[in-house]
Amino acid sequence: MAVARPNGADHALLYVPGRSFLHRLNPLTKLTLVLWCAVAAFALPPQGTIPLALLAIAVGIFAGAGKVFARRLIFTLTPLALALFVVHGMLVDHEGERAAFLGLDLSHDGLAYMVRILGRIAALLSGSLLFVCTTHPARLLKALDDLKLVDNTYVIYTTDNGPWLQFR
């Protein structure tokens, strides 16, 4: 039997209440930073996306989003990294040097490509998770209202009811 249990007035999806500098930023400023992170993830050379992702991860962990941020990031990136490893490291026939590891035939070029793609995805995901974990939806709507943008803006929220639905 499913029992709905609200976890308090501040509970909204992945939002983590806090008083860090990131929580205090205007939601539209944070949205601009997410956009910057998305543009940088594709505009930077591959060597720049991994430091960008690591910076976003460090900010997320130390800015008060901590466990929720890290857990969601791990649960999202791990299966993606494994899939990219299998596809680009083993299945796609890349030209160049190959190596055997634990009986697997791996392509060096494929693994390098996997790291480049994973760096970009990690930067995008880290930036967007920072926004979601540190911005309450009500503050975002208020910021849009303060700038009188609510008449020309659609805000769509989706959920799987995970935070409110607990099974016994």
* Amino acid letter for position 29: T
Q: Which residue has the higher pLDDT, 14 or 69?
A: 69
Give SS3 for 103.
coil
Q: Is the pLDDT of residue 6 over 60?
A: no
Residue 163's pLDDT band, with cuts at 50, 70 and 90, is low
Which whole number is the average pLDDT over 141-160? 80
Q: Is the pLDDT of residue 10 over 80?
A: no
Which of 36-40, 66-70, 81-85, 97-101 bottoms out in mean pLDDT, i.e. has the lowest?
97-101
Which whole number is the average pLDDT over 126-149? 87
**The pLDDT value given to residue 102:** 66
The CA distance from 162 to 160, in Å, is: 5
Q: How far apart are the two ends of the chain, measured CA to CA in Å?
A: 6
Q: Which residue has the higher pLDDT, 150 or 38?
A: 38
Lookup: tokens for 123: 């930067």
- On whether the CB atoms of residues 125 and 4 are closer than 8 A, the answer is no
From 131, 138, 92, select the one nearest 112 (Cα to Cα): 92
* Amino acid letter for position 14: L
- On whether the CB atoms of residues 122 and 81 are closer than 8 A, the answer is no
